[in-house]
Amino acid sequence: MNEGKIPTVGQLMQPLMKALKNLGNSGSIDEIYDEVVKIEKYDEDTLAVLHNPDRSNQNEVGNRLAWARTHLKRKGYLVNSSRGIWTLTNKAKQASTDNRELVKYIRSLDKRI
């Protein structure tokens, strides 16, 4: 598997927000994952790459989506409204997916990660 095909945390943030919008502004971790995979049309090879095969069966895309959720929560775009349920905040609902602040933040993360 070519590691370059796996999206970065930053590359997953906008599809994650779009997925939540498609899901009615909130969704479970599994619903978000499925919607992002559908939106981005990831192939089976990409989804087959495990994050840490010795410890779990979580794939790398799922792991990076978890980090994307965490970063978006820190920036005020998401809240974890209940266990395993993520919801867009008013800030996120008002932002377009091309929001300059978000894009700038994503780019800064990609340089660090």
Structural domains for the chain:
3-112 (1.10.10.10)
Burial of residue 79, with CB atoms counted within 10 A of its CB: 0-12 exposed, 13-18 middle, 19 or more buried: middle
Burial of residue 66, with CB atoms counted within 10 A of its CB: 0-12 exposed, 13-18 middle, 19 or more buried: middle
Residue type, 44: E
Residue 52 token pair: 């840490």
The per-residue pLDDT for 100 is 67
The per-residue pLDDT for 1 is 39
Task: Decide: helix, strand or coil at residue 81.
Answer: strand
**pLDDT tens for the chain, residues 1 to 113:** 345 589 988 889 989 999 999 999 999 999 999 999 999 999 999 999 999 888 888 999 999 999 999 999 988 899 998 888 999 999 888 776 555 667 676 667 666 65
Integer Cα distance of 62 and 42 in angstroms: 12
Integer Cα distance of 22 and 35 in angstroms: 8
Integer Cα distance of 71 and 73 in angstroms: 5
Residue 89 token pair: 């905040």
Q: Hey, CA dihedral for 28, 48, 9, 42, is it positive or negative?
A: negative
